[in-house]
Structure 1
Amino acid sequence: MIIPNLSHEVVVAKVDKLVSDILNPKNRISIQQISYRLNLYYQPMTLLYNNELKYTNSIEWFIGSCYLVCGNCYPHEIFWDEAMAESFLNALNFYQYEYATDKADFAFQEQRNSQSLMEYMSYYLEKYARVLIVRVDLKLKVEFAHLVDAEIFQGFMNQLMVKIQRDREKEKKRKNGKLANASKGCFEDLRGYAWAIEQGIETGGLHCHLVLIYNGDKRQKDWFLGDTVGKRWVEITEGLGWYYNGNTPKRKASYRRRGKLGIGMIDRDKPLEVNNAINAALYLARPNKYEQRLKSWPLKMRSFGRGALPNS
């Protein structure tokens, strides 16, 4: 059995979910469910597997376990009855320890990213009397997500970084009096930024969480900036993308009521605001988001990054 039009990103997400459902001791999955899902995703996974990509361990465990059961048979010749599914289950269960280790390794890396991000945020929150924090989630429209793999998404992110650099160059020219009458770009007066790319658990859709740190004496109107940055993303993706602006008045009011507002204008002399701003940024590197990690990626692609600190 094969479902037509399954994209690579959808398949790797489904396979990762199957492996997790089996190896996670908190989950319960029947042999009938395993058989059903193997018949859905085994053939497309073997056909779409790309040797030029790096895969998360769960995908390699899946491929290896299937090979132990199926040998050199052609994928289209395989029907996963319950007996074969049982053999697959027995093979995959050998990776129980590796699964636990893989989750621990991910959590450790995210803790390192969190520490790096905390130091980065603290630098700007201490350096400037006021900073303007903008949070935007850069997404793909559901109907187009299957068209965008990790390599294409990386290309979109590269274009975004180019726009940031161009606006910084505009800012320098403006300071030198060469752009006195030109309108400001949405990344001018930007002092720092951080991003994290994740992948949906069910759909495999890629998305990016973006934090932007502006000089609060130079920029206000955080909702407007978030909206403008989001529109730049839609332009970059040629209409395939959409965005979530975290800085709308309604969303900020919700955070404020709960005492957790850490976006918008942040005053250095208000410890609660500073602490909330750091916590808001740390959402990018939460150790409990194992299921949302990338399942496949080009060899040089990173899933987390931040700007460089001055003189670092």
Structure 2
Amino acid sequence: MTHSLINQSQLINNIDRLVRDVVFQPIYFNDVRNRLNALYYPFMNSINHDLYYSQTVDSFVYSTDAIVGDLYPCDVIWDHDKTQQFVNNLAYYRNIIETEDNVWRQQEVQNKVNLEHYIRNLIKHYSRLLFVRVDLKYSQESSHLITIEDFNLHMTKLREFIGNKKTCFANLQGNAWALEQGGIEGGLHCHLLLIYDGAKRQNDWYLAKEVGEKWRSITENMGAYYNYHDAETKRRFEENGKLGIGMIHRDNPQQVENAVHTALYLTKPDKVDQQLKVWLPSMRTFGHGIYRTAKRRGLPPIAN
């Protein structure tokens, strides 16, 4: 694993936020200038042309390139005139940024439809299922070392473990995952849903802990995780009638609807600020298991 000398994710997240503020919000000129001076050199000094960037980041690059020309990034100082040019240049990219956001929202809507269909099929097929939710991320001490390449590698390994259905993934009947970048800490993270055969697995807190520790192992102890299954968290959801994790019984409509609602958190079209702003070619950001498999017993034949 090669480690970055800067916090790649946070830097790119800050550039995305700067561009969105300039394009969509009232401009505070001195703030824009200060942020340009803080962000321009470290990003241009670390840009990787083998990666894909969001339209906000590309717009940042195009807008600044048009101003600085052949100057080395280390020689660029964003004074009043250059900053004003930057603001003017970004205005040309507003429609392109909005188009990319709309495409992303439409994909999230389709992901939501597909995921709900998948979850409801599973619940109809099994009398009870154990729903386990874990958020996988990186520790504050390690997040600056993690690149998108590292994150992709870790997620690939995790999906291999899930597919093998051994150790903490034994008796797994369904899964879904969504990759995000941003939020309060601005880091790369994964929302993970695991659905176990409720006749063979019961202890959801312990399973979530095992999965989290598996993530820590995959990431060489740089990973961190959030376990939703402690008694206090579950009690709060239950008091509000919204508990959708733990054991879900097919014949309990409230549990079923809560479980579906919990699963669909992985596909929220309003979370534009948390879409990935950098990715590898062909990198997937969302996925779920397959309902119709040769090993799933009792399925009717597909109608011709």
- Could you tell me the TM-score, scaled by structure 1's length? 0.90
- CA shift at 1:100, angstroms? 2.1
Aligned length: 291
C-alpha distance in 2, partners of 1:136/1:295?
23
Q: Is the contact between residue 177 and residue 266 of structure 2 (CA under 8 Å) also seen in structure 1?
A: yes
Partner of 2:234: 252
State the SS of the aligned residue for 1:186: helix
Distance 1:133 1:202, change over 3 A: closer
Instruction: Say whether 1:16 aligns with 2:12.
Output: no
| Cα distance in structure 2, aligned partners of 1:148 and 1:89 | 31
Aligned to 2:253: 271
Q: Are 2:161 and 1:153 equivalent residues in the alignment?
A: no
Structure 2 equivalent of residue 177 of structure 1: none
The answer to whether the Cα contact below 8 Å between 1:132 and 1:263 also exists between their aligned partners in 2 is: yes
1:187 & 1:248 partners in 2: Cα distance?
20
Counterpart position of 1:284: 266
Deviation at 1:95, TM superposition (A): 1.4
**Residue-by-residue CA offset, 1:130-179 (whole Å, 9 max, x unaligned):** 111000001100111111111111111121122223335xxxxxxxxxxx
Partner in structure 2 of residue 212 of structure 1: 194
Q: Is the alpha carbon distance of 1:149 and 1:204 closer, same or farther for their aligned partners in structure 2, counting shifts above 3 Å?
A: farther
Identity of aligned residues (%): 39
Q: Distance in 2 between matches of 1:103 and 1:295?
A: 11
1: CA distance, partners of 2:168 / 2:8: 34
Alignment of 1:227 onto 2:209: yes
Deviation of the 1:304 alpha carbon: 0.6
**CA offset at residue 6 of structure 1?**
3.0
In 2: Cα distance, 1:6 partner to 1:223 partner:
35
Deviation at 1:221? Answer: 0.8
Shift of 1:200: 1.9
How far apart are the structure 1 equivalents of 2:98 and 2:53?
17
The answer to whether 1:305 aligns with 2:287 is: yes
2:297 maps to what in 1?
Answer: none
Within 1, Cα distance between the matches of 2:95 and 2:158? 39
Contact 1:192 1:214 in 2 (8 A): yes
CA apart distance, 1:99: 2.3
1:7 matches 2:2: no
- Runs of 4 or more, structure 1, over 6 Å off, are none
Partner of residue 223, structure 2: 241
State the distance in 1 between where 2:270 and 2:242 align: 20
Q: Deviations over 1:26-45 (max 9, x none)?
A: x3331111110110111111
Residue of structure 2 equivalent to 1:55: 53
State the AA in 1 paired with 2:270.
Answer: N
Q: Check if 1:138 corresponds to 2:120.
A: no
Distance 1:101 1:250 in 2: 42
Contact 1:121 1:278 in 2 (8 A): yes
Pair 1:120-2:118 in alignment: yes
Contact 1:14–1:201 (Cα < 8 Å) also in 2: no
Corresponding residue for residue 92 of structure 2 = 94
- Once the two structures are superposed, the pairs formed by residues 67-78 of structure 1 within 5 Å of their partners are 67-78=65-76
The aligned counterpart of 2:178 is: 196
Contact 1:13–1:201 (CA<8 Å) still a contact in 2? no
What do residues 186-238 of structure 1 show as CA deviations (whole Å, max 9, x unaligned)?
A: 11110010001111256541111000011111110111111111111111111
Q: CA deviation at 1:8?
A: 2.3
In the alignment, structure 2 segments of 5+ residues that lack a partner are 295-304
Report the RMSD for the aligned CA atoms in angstroms.
Answer: 1.6
TM-score of the two chains, using structure 2 as the length reference: 0.92
